[in-house]
Structure 1
Amino acid sequence: MAPPSVNHPSHKTSRFSPRVAVAAVIVLTLLYLALPHNHHHAQKLIDTIAEKSSSLSSHPAPEWALTDDFHADDAAAQEHKENQAAPACRTDYVRSLQDAAQNPTNKPQLSFEQLLWIATTVQTSAYALTTRGGIKRDHRFLVWGLGHDSPLWDNANCFVPPHASPGSGLAARRGRTAFVENWQTWIDTVSAAYPSLEVHFFDKYTSTVATSDAFFASPTSLQLPEEVQNVCWDVILVDAPQGYQPDQPGRHEATHWSVQKAKDCLRANKLSEVHIFLHDVNRALENKIVDNILRAAGGTDLGRINGVAGDLVAFRFTKASLVDDLHGLGGPGSH
């Protein structure tokens, strides 16, 4: 994940620039993730990042407009947005992640560093959709799994475009964030607390942790609900379904679907890049997924962040990076 280039600031006093603020947050975040963590220095850097991100919400947001070729999302997603009033975007997303990571009641399984890595990737990816004429389309973020961190992902996909367009009267825009979950009772619980989240029930997995070798030898593609299946997703986080028992689905089918969808959209020139995150790669099956699906399909390995509740990796896919038919997993998808 490469941050946008930033020109050296002028010594002259200038008015607030969201572009510079967004770039500063991204650069500081990458620096934080790259450096060894001395607690005192790490906290000072986090405070600086949070201060920069807070400036995006404390200063009046610039107006912006949709470009002439703006592509609206599918009707179902638009209807969901209209029917469920989402809370206001909290554009100081770094501070919101830190608050969540320190919450003793509903603490996410992902560490703060892992949350920050994903959220900054979402912000950077959304940033790439803006032009001086406005925004090309809503940014799309797909999350496999529903949990205490779900509102964080919905909020991380809120973006203040850096270019003003007089007269539009618009400020921060919420991208589309969708969740795929295979436990209906858990969906009911989380949706009751956060009714604005877009959640899709799916439990039609054909393989398990115990039968994963057969899947790698002869993979099949999932057919998700059409509201998910027929969309090209900019960033995908695979943190479900469950995979710590032999009879559970594991994440090989979800990751395979995600890579196949990325490949289809890249080859059709509907996307220029896709980022895919996979959690719990400290487990044997997830390590095999990394080698036989993510890396085998041509993804660029962006690194790994260890965590108490599971390690996280990320891969970046572009049209130029794709590899065909490795280990039976690179053929064209059925989406």
Structure 2
Amino acid sequence: MKPNNTKFILLHPSIPTPNSHHRFYLLTFLTLLSISLTFFLITLSTTTTTSGATTAAAVPHSTIFNILLHYASTPTPQSHLSLPQLTSITTTLQKHPFPSNFNLLVFGITHETLLFHALNFNGRTTFIDESAYTISKLEEKNFGVEAYDVQFVTKVSELHDLIRYAKTELRKECRPVQNLLFSECKLGINDLPNFVYDVAWDVILIDGPRGYFPDAPGRLSAIFTASVLARSKKGGGGETHVFVHEFDREVERVGSDEFLCRENLVETVGNLGHFVVKKMDYGGVDGFRFCRNLSSSAALATARLVT
């Protein structure tokens, strides 16, 4: 006969902790989010056709956008972009008719990375970051995310020297229309996967590298690279939307004025600048200058270089 191993289990109400209610609400929200996303994705994947035409409605797609936007904009210590800034970016993304895809290039890995990946689930989203470790962890936990590390060689403290250099090479290595893969311009990023230089990017977001102290990798090379990719665009639409975060900092402001051009600035939301850059043809006067009009900020920067 087996010994009697009966055990008594005592059930008693737990004593609530100060954060128990917040954790409960957070868990409930995340559960509802998962259920909602699963339902809408299943709805999209099982959409039937009538008379040979797809009957996918825009409502589920719009709802997915709103759910993800709300989730990403929930205030946390990791939040990077404000709700109005996220709304500006996602509104631009939503201008592409569903289920048409678009090409999104993002410099920087942030709290919103998975949001942008999810919003463009039917298109191509590529992330560029300075940290190989961060990218490795991102890809390990999130299957399907496409990200590459790159060494940003420019520093924040080198801003004015680099602007002066770019002016001297404007008709040579640092021209606005070129294939950066073969460029020797110090500002051009030419060690990315080859496809990056061939894709017609519809939207480019510059939110990296860090750039918040003198010896940190600056964003001037990312801004220059984005401006050249937009002007040298092959195929796709004739315009590229370029967003520059932390536009209030000197490198981002002066670099944007110099290469993205104030005449192309269509909106500022807090410290986020939104530019619309048109592709250009190589040759002629316009083929060797980034801006038609020298902005006041760029003029000030030029004056500083001359003195």
Same structural fold, with TM-score higher than 0.5 when normalized by the shorter chain? yes
What residue is the counterpart of 1:121 in the other structure?
92
Contact in 1 for aligned 2:104/2:204 (Cα 8 Å): yes
* Corresponding residue to 1:305 among 269, 279, 289: 269
CA, structure 1 residues 321+238, in 2 after alignment: closer, same or farther (shift >3 Å)? farther
* Corresponding residue to 1:191 among 139, 152, 159: 139
Task: Give the superposition deviation at 1:190.
Answer: 2.1
* Corresponding residue to 1:93 among 65, 78, 99: 65
CA shift digits 1:249-278 (9 cap, x unpaired): 21110111111011011xx45432110000
Contact in 1 for aligned 2:155/2:216 (Cα 8 Å): yes
Verify: 1:231 aligned to 2:199, yes or no: yes
> In structure 1, the residue corresponding to 2:241 is in which secondary structure?
strand
CA RMSD of aligned residues (A): 3.3
* Corresponding residue to 1:142 among 105, 113, 119: 105
The structure with the greater share of residues assigned to helix is 2
CA, structure 1 residues 63+234, in 2 after alignment: closer, same or farther (shift >3 Å)? farther
Verify: 1:222 aligned to 2:172, yes or no: no
CA, structure 1 residues 284+63, in 2 after alignment: closer, same or farther (shift >3 Å)? farther
What residue is the counterpart of 1:242 in the other structure?
210
Distance 2:240 2:289 in 1: 19
CA, structure 1 residues 261+153, in 2 after alignment: closer, same or farther (shift >3 Å)? same
CA, structure 1 residues 218+182, in 2 after alignment: closer, same or farther (shift >3 Å)? same
Verify: 1:289 aligned to 2:255, yes or no: yes
What residue is the counterpart of 2:244 in the other structure?
278
CA, structure 1 residues 294+327, in 2 after alignment: closer, same or farther (shift >3 Å)? closer
Task: Give the superposition deviation at 1:231.
Answer: 1.6
Greater RCO, CA 8 A, separation 6+ = 1
CA, structure 1 residues 287+321, in 2 after alignment: closer, same or farther (shift >3 Å)? farther
Verify: 1:111 aligned to 2:85, yes or no: no
> In structure 2, the residue corresponding to 1:155 is in which secondary structure?
helix
> In structure 2, the residue corresponding to 1:188 is in which secondary structure?
helix
Provide the TM-score with structure 1 as the length reference. Answer: 0.58
Task: Give the superposition deviation at 1:91.
Answer: 5.1
Distance 2:41 2:66 in 1: 14
Distance 2:86 2:291 in 1: 33
Distance 1:321 1:301 in 2: 21
CA shift digits 1:119-153 (9 cap, x unpaired): 121121x32xx7xxx85xx4100000112211100
* Corresponding residue to 1:212 among 159, 166, 175: 159
Residue correspondence of structure 1 range 172-191 to structure 2 within 5 A: 174-191=122-139
CA, structure 1 residues 222+252, in 2 after alignment: closer, same or farther (shift >3 Å)? same
Contact in 2 for aligned 1:234/1:273 (Cα 8 Å): yes
CA shift digits 1:44-102 (9 cap, x unpaired): xxxxxxxxxx9x949954568xxxxxxxxxxxxxxxxxxxxxxxx89521221112221
> Identity across aligned pairs (percent)?
25
Task: Give the superposition deviation at 1:242.
Answer: 1.2
Distance 1:149 1:110 in 2: 8
- Of residues 233-242 and 285-294 in structure 1, the stretch that sits farther from structure 2 once superposed is 285-294
Give 1:288's aligned amino acid: V
> In structure 2, the residue corresponding to 1:92 is in which secondary structure?
helix
Distance 1:112 1:95 in 2: 13
Give 1:263's aligned amino acid: R
> In structure 2, the residue corresponding to 1:242 is in which secondary structure?
coil
- Structure 2: unaligned runs, 5 residues or longer: 1-36, 50-60, 167-184, 293-307
Q: Which has the larger radius of gyration?
A: 2
Contact in 1 for aligned 2:200/2:235 (Cα 8 Å): no
Give 2:84's aligned amino acid: E
